Structure 1
């Protein structure tokens, strides 16, 4: 393993850890509606931090985007699509909790985001030994997703004595659908990274450090995603009259949601830095490693916060087995690094 690949992998491991725990501050804002938390999160994660870091690390941004409007527009389009997935991602956490929603959503994001860059680049790669190994890793990860869904169903059943049974089952089904859709749209941010390669090359030509060149992509993609997220939050503010929550708990609530946004942006920035150091593997295997580490970190956060404290072993063993599948999937995917 070359030094640049090792350092890239370490950055991606850190990125996955940030991605897995970013939503923990939301648990301390439970008196806020989802849209209150998500609007502040979006403002920090998708608008302020991307442009701040791009301004600090990429010179002559205006020249950069003007030189390649096609790539800029394509990155923005992927960002818009990802924005829909980000809304569903936030709602999935609200419906199913950290330790169940993150494995489902990020497991799918992992699988699709790993395979599609290879398929779009050269589908024949999947027939090689390395490609077959990637397919095997994805299959193991999907098995883990199924086990986590089973664990969630049993968790809801065990909590039926404290909730109305029909309401609990309905909420789980709705949350599961939301998480599945979020998992399909979520990988679009990785496509923005892949198809933003010309912008990164131009950034380096203008004097940017290659490690930070990905910031030229994130600023465009995440701003496009912000437009979708902000529009949804504003719609909910008007419907639910939830603007008032900002006045009732202004400073602590805004701070917590902003911290969640900053931590999440660090995850995507570190992924870009690590992915660039890993080379071609960054957009496939690197993506898979980051998302799987996020699942593990998210589970640790959910368990520590008590989400599974009241459940029985009947519900806990599929979660533990599913987690083992995810770890095994990461091992299979990363063998060739």
Structure 2
């Protein structure tokens, strides 16, 4: 039951991450950097503070007892992840929600899952446990599903060119940004792993399954700092900082559009933070192969994001062949999750 709960928590987190960017399409008269900084303030600063305060008993005592090395390491790795998160948002401009998740999360899935046990010298020990081969198989099948998503992306771009459809879709521009985002996103997995000593202190004081929320105070604030630096650079370059308070365009109800834009930023930031919140709950329920949490979460994210892409009609102008590629990818991704779940089940039964 604990394993099933973990998978379901990861599913909810993946769904939250898949829809978090959709409000961005409704934002009016804000530059990208204005909206991005507004939503980042919510998901990386405001909500981590609020949730940690509500779910972590004796928070102040925990922060005084937790090792400072773990805090700084988690913060710095989060800083690197923040660069990847920014690249994530830029990539969406070129290849849409579903493909950004497919490519970036695919890379992050492999690096963020296997690099940690390799770095900690635990891979050989894990390999001797029942169910490990199924975990590796599940990850491999997941990579195949993600590759099929990439093939669907190439096919989608060809369909748009043949149909002479006016859309801001460029796989050639979006691909390198997606790769960068995927590599740097894997650092978040490292950030959480290195922050575990802080969570261990929180568990001692009764935080239970919510122990991971204390790590977000450091990993997410690190991500916010790198985002803040980049967004402020763009604001200074393009002189857009005033957008937080007013609009330069006439004929607009200033208070109305500002309220709506801030509402959308809060909505985006909240959905994005819920990804972290449910990831932590899922991770603490995964049994012996907790390292596979990252793979399960990422593969579910790709799966759900493509389903969301279909619902948002990102693939509406695609041909039959493209849709076949996408359909095959979804089936393979579902199979991957089932295999990973079975592998974790065997690990618990051992």
**Is the 2:57–2:207 Cα contact (8 Å) retained in structure 1?**
no
Describe the shift of the 1:30–1:306 C-alpha distance in structure 2 as closer, same or farther (beyond 3 A): farther
Asked if 1:108 is matched to 2:116, the reply is no
TM-score (norm 2): 0.87
Q: Quick one: distance in 2 between partners of 1:69 and 1:255?
A: 36
Q: Using the TM superposition, name which of 71-80 and 141-150 deviates more.
A: 141-150
Distance 1:191 1:251 in 2: 37
Confirm or deny: 8 A CA contact 2:28 2:261 kept in the other structure.
no
Secondary structure at 1:214 match in 2: helix
CA deviation profile, 1:33-87 (whole Å, cap 9, x unmatched): 3222211110000000001111112234343233311111111121111111111
The count of residues paired between Structure 1 and Structure 2 equals 329
Q: Which 10-residue stretch deviates more, 150-159 or 253-262?
A: 150-159
Correspondent of 1:264 among 269, 272, 275: 272
Distance 1:125 1:163, change over 3 A: farther
Q: Say yes or no: does 1:334 pair with 2:341.
A: yes
Q: State yes or no: 1:95 paired with 2:103.
A: no
Question: What are the ranges of 5 or more consecutive residues in structure 2 without an aligned counterpart?
Answer: 248-256, 346-350
1:123 to 2:130 alignment: no
Q: CA deviation at 1:30?
A: 6.4
User: Is the 1:108–1:184 Cα contact (8 Å) retained in structure 2?
Assistant: yes
TM-score, normalised relative to structure 1 = 0.90
Q: Which of 296, 301, 326 matches 1:319?
A: 326
Question: Residue 162 of structure 1 corresponds to which residue in structure 2?
Answer: 165
Report 1:170-185 matches (<5 A): 171-185=170-184
Query: Is the contact made by 2:9 and 2:282 (CA closer than 8 Å) also made in structure 1?
Result: yes
> Per-residue displacement from partner, 1:233-254 (whole Å, max 9, x unpaired)?
1111222333354423311111
Distance across 2 between alignment mates of 1:277 and 1:93: 32
Q: Which residue of 1 aligns with 2:202?
A: 203
What aligned pairs does 1:107-256 form with structure 2 within 5 A after superposition? 107-121=106-120, 122-125=122-125, 127-128=127-128, 130-160=131-161, 161-163=164-166, 171-205=170-204, 207-246=205-244, 247-248=246-247, 249-256=257-264
Which has the higher mean CA deviation after the structures are superposed, 219-228 or 108-117? Answer: 108-117
Are the structure 2 counterparts of residues 202 and 304 from structure 1 closer, same or farther at C-alpha, using a change threshold of 3 Å? same
Q: What CA distance in whole angstroms lies between the structure 2 residues aligned with 1:37 and 1:316? A: 32
Pairwise CA distance, 1:111: 2.1
Structure 1 residues not aligned, in runs of 5+: none
- After TM superposition, list the pairs within 5 Å mapping 1:35-54 onto structure 2: 35-54=33-52
CA contact (8 A) 1:88 1:178 kept: yes
Is the Cα–Cα contact under 8 Å of residues 111 and 141 in structure 1 kept in the other structure?
Answer: no
Structure 1 residue matching 2:57: 3-state secondary structure: coil
Cα gap change, 1:101 to 1:59, in 2 (>3 Å): same
1:78-106 CA-partner distances (Å, limit 9, x unpaired): 11111111111111222211121111112
Q: Pick from 294, 315, 321 the counterpart of residue 308 of structure 1.
A: 315
Contact 1:20–1:296 (Cα < 8 Å) also in 2: no
The SS at the match of 2:215 is helix
Equivalent residues in 2 for 1:292-307, closer than 5 Å:
292-307=299-314
Q: CA deviation at 1:226?
A: 0.2
Q: Secondary structure at the match of 2:286?
A: helix
Q: List 4+ stretches of structure 1 deviating above 6 A.
A: none
The 1:146–1:8 alpha-carbon spacing in structure 2 relative to 1, beyond 3 Å, is closer
